[in-house]
Chains A and B, each alone.
Chain A
């Protein structure tokens, strides 16, 4: 108890110091103390045809066998999330596993007709959760690939999640081989549907472009570099050093845009325009080309508000009626943080 109050006095002193230095440093530079991270999981094959994770998980296990657990800063669980989909090299067997982690689905009763992925989601929730309880693992790092040209994108659920935003800040500074961006989904945790919402802090590492069912060495290496950087960050954080705050830029999903479709057959009648294809995170302004129909007509963006397209031409999203997401760029200032010594 004394220790705690001393700790908070230290935080207060540090805050005061920073406030005096206001003209030199930006506002909001308070120091937040957070518990150290004790257990973490790296998950691959949540979509069975996203191959970087499918191969990186066994590679991590091979490293563990060769060099022992001490290579990692904290106990690391590796998981192949959807073994049946991996075996068949498909995104999923019955239902997209990465949409099965809402509180409602996780607590639904299992019957004979329950889809494979719903059962699996509940198993993973038992293994790594339960979601929204104290027993949940501290961190999940879920590995994904996309056919979109998104470099290394970190996806997480909330802008008040300082751990995840700091991890992004660290990766963006450390990784130079691919562009690194932050995508924020503003969804309350109960409705959050993906695997990384099970742990206390969760991120998806989404690396592309890579076709489904293919492992590219350069994309695999970017994923490996990303995971190693996350582990480095955890080590630094747990050591108790102050992790400096600062400004980060996040892309917040606002809406989705579908392909123009034939009114009768519902099949797409256009492809993403060549001038938009591969230009994830660029600014799409009114009048810019969006789609090129198969008969050669250009369809343009008609909205007033310029937004940033993300997940442009992701193969798995055709069936979800999504050609791309549109996101708003939002700056956030994040505080410095420090692991609470227990």
Chain B
């Protein structure tokens, strides 16, 4: 038994050039203005980083989506735009860690990696999020495993198929919340969960530190396909293959995300395991 979710937020444009969320938020705000429809769940729709959205850049001074640690949120006299904005969002949707905080935030992102529709959450014992994932996997037209037609999306542009997949996913999530709040029981089961183990950087020139290889064509676009020791990882610009030297086969994801070049991440590696989730039902309020 878990408490009902009475307040939910849908956030887009946390990175200003990830356009599915930007346009989804625009649409929701426009429809809200036109029809004044009351949704069964109170949904707050937020454009997280308006200045970055206006300039169609990931961020203006610092990555907003790295600004929600307790340390940053409680620091006084922030001057940088995103640091001030994260504190504003924390007042609006939080405060983080308090009883007044939103029950659920759904934050919308795009990636240049071929990750289909991916749900990212902080804890593998967050039954709400894992149940939402199970619900989406069963119903979404474009679940991660069959993600061929979804593909990646370059930053700064919008692809209709990716937008529709995002729109569908948000709708399914809100449907789930409605059902959950109405007292429906969701059967337990198992969910495949990928947990980050480490990040791998590009091979770099030892003097200039510039990148000297690209993700290997045999690995490019193969997010969530098992990478074995000895498999090709990078192809240098001069034509040499560099192989995965780890001992453990792992699952790569965020393969060739353009925003991660500056964070020195070519790809992330994860372990996969099945997490058993219990049946849940909301306790009537």
Chain A contacts to B: CB under 8 angstroms: 55-56, 58-59, 62-63, 89, 147, 209-218, 220-221, 267-268, 271-274, 277, 292, 294-295, 313-316, 318-319
Contacts and interface: CB of A to CB of B under 8 A. Distances in A.
Contacts of A147: 154, 156-157
B39 interface: no
Interface string B223-262: 0000000000001011000000000000000001011011
B238 A59 contact: yes
A217 B27 contact: no
B215 A211 contact: no
Contact of A315 (B154, B160, B259, B261): B154
B154 A55 contact: no
B134 interface: no
A176 to B, nearest CB: 16
A294 B157 contact: no
A217 B217 contact: yes
B152 interface: yes
A277 B161 contact: yes
Given A272-B160, A315-B157, A220 B214 contact: yes
Given A216-B214, A216-B256, A294-B163, 5 more contacts: A58-B237, A215-B211, A267-B26, A271-B23, A272-B159
Contacts of B282: none
Contacts of B23: 268, 271, 294
Contacts of A62: 237-238
A274 B155 contact: no
B237 A59 contact: yes
Interface string B149-178: 000111111111101100100000000000
A214 B112 contact: yes
Contacts of A63: 238
Nearest to B28: A294
A211 B162 CA distance: 15
Nearest to A295: B27
B262 A89 contact: yes
B220 A216 contact: yes
Interface in B172-197: none
B98 interface: no
Contacts of B160: 271-274, 277, 292
A221 B239 CA distance: 9
B7 interface: no
B222 to A, nearest CB: 12
Nearest to A60: B237
B56 interface: yes
B79 interface: no
Contacts of B51: none
B69 interface: no
A256 B162 CA distance: 24
B271 interface: no
A211 B26 CA distance: 24
Contacts of B154: 147, 209-212, 214, 315
B96 interface: no
B210 interface: yes
A217 B256 CA distance: 10
B216 interface: yes
A214 B156 contact: no
Q: Which 6 A-B pairs have the closest CB atoms?
A: A211-B154, A213-B258, A315-B156, A315-B157, A271-B160, A217-B214
15 contacts: A62-B237, A63-B238, A210-B154, A212-B155, A212-B258, A214-B154, A214-B258, A220-B237, A272-B159, A274-B161, A294-B24, A294-B26, A315-B154, A318-B156, A319-B56
